[in-house]
Amino acid sequence: MFDLTGEPGVGETHDMEADEDPALTAVAAALRCADTDGGRTAGVLRATLDQLYDGVRTGRYRWDELHKTEKTHCGTLVEINMQREFGFADGKNLDFRIAGVEVDCKYSQTDGRWMIPPEARDEICMVLWANDEESRWKLGVVRAKADLLGDGTNRDAKTTLNKEGREAVSWIFACGRLAENTLLHLPEGVAEQIMEGGSGAERIRRLCRLVQRRIIRREIVATVAQQADYMKRLRGNGGARSDLLPEGIIILGQHERHRMVARALHLPVPGPGDTVTARVHPALPGENPSVEIDGSFWRLARDADPVVPAPRLPQR
């Protein structure tokens, strides 16, 4: 194991002398060890974008809705959130110390356009990129050698990697999957139709009607509701779960019995904070997929099926 906050862990058997750049290899190995499937880094990038949109206060969900200063601040937030997630030690001259090596953290919304400051030249840089519209992200490391940097600089004396520099990046995750920003990926006009609802409750009802059979993250609910108690708008007893029963729509959450219903109907299975909605219809004997809810069997409704009031879901 590698210690992300200090020196390589005791017992590490990797042959450092065989590497062209042992320090770079050690940093890459430590990052891979700390995030074997990329889930932690993906979570940081997703949370950072949602933090910038601040949907519960603003209703925003697109990068182009941000102010210039907010976009500029994104890299700083990524750095802060990565350090919180992984517990990187502070660097003396650069952002972090990983496996005993000083590392600078660089994020860019444009793939390959990481701005390298003078103090990071010839040092190791952790480079990250994410794109909400493509639902993709990257994480790699590179030593910012002079021959890998562009000729031009900005007023802060920062420069970018040149073609050779971009090709020299050692990718830890070259094509990571970013949790979907649902509102960005709806057919034209649908998100606008949802957001035009006159109240948080009405917008949530529209969301549940128009975005079915796919994961809706908690942050999307917050953006649509724009209220402090946004998850309440999904529940029964006056929320969308009871309001939409007459329309045949069930709203599944993270409770295990709801997850069992989702699996049985071959729907995406909601995780913590997730929601999945679907219109259902009574199932005939032997019809599959189907599931027993409230004493009778149900299947996913087809477009031609008449609307039938949905069953009440188990509470837990």
Domain boundary among 129, 151, 177: 177
pLDDT computed for residue 3 by the predictor: 54
pLDDT digits (tens, 9 = 90+) for 230-251: 999 998 788 999 999 999 999 9
155 with 219, same domain?
Answer: no
The count of domains in the chain is 2
Radius of gyration of the chain (CA): 24
CATH of the domain at 295: 1.10.10.10
> Are 65 and 53 a contacting pair, CB within 8 Å?
yes
Six-digit token pair at 212? 């079915």
Give the pLDDT score at 250.
98
* 228 C-beta neighbours (distance < 10 Å), count: 10
Q: Looking at the DSSP assignment, which residues form a beta bridge with residue 171?
A: 140
Whether residues 85 and 189 share a domain: the answer is: no
| Together in a domain, 102 and 27 | yes
Q: Does any domain span residue 292?
A: yes
Which H or E run contains 228? none
**Single residue among 177, 212, 245 that ends a domain in this structure:** 177
Pick the closest to residue 294 from 277, 280, 274 (CA basis).
Answer: 280
Residues 49, 96 within the same domain: yes
SS3 content of the chain, % helix, strand, coil (to 5): 35, 20, 40
Q: What pLDDT sits at residue 9?
A: 38
Q: Is residue 1 part of a domain?
A: no
Sign, Cα dihedral of 179, 184, 188, 192: positive
**Is there a single domain that holds both residue 229 and residue 260?**
yes
Is 9 within a domain?
no
DSSP, res 284: P
- Together in a domain, 21 and 126: yes
Residue 306 placed within a domain:
no
How many CB atoms neighbour CB 23 within 10 A? Answer: 19
Query: What predicted TM-score, i.e. pTM, was given to this entire model?
Result: 0.90
Where are any strands of DSSP class E within 60-135? 89-90, 96-98, 101-108, 124-131
Q: Which of 179, 202, 226, 209 is nearest to 277 (CA)?
A: 209
pLDDT at 44: 98
**Same domain? 107 vs 226:** no
Asked if 165 contacts 125 with a C-beta cutoff of 8 angstroms, the reply is no
Residues of the chain with pLDDT under 70: 1-19, 316
| Cα 174 to Cα 180: distance, rounded to the nearest angstrom | 18
Regarding whether 212 and 289 lie in a shared domain, the answer is yes
In this structure, what CATH number is given to the domain that contains residue 139? 3.40.600.10
Identify the sign of the CA torsion 261, 265, 269, 272: negative
Structural domain containing residue 167: 16-177
Domain contains 316: no
Same structural domain, 230 and 118: no
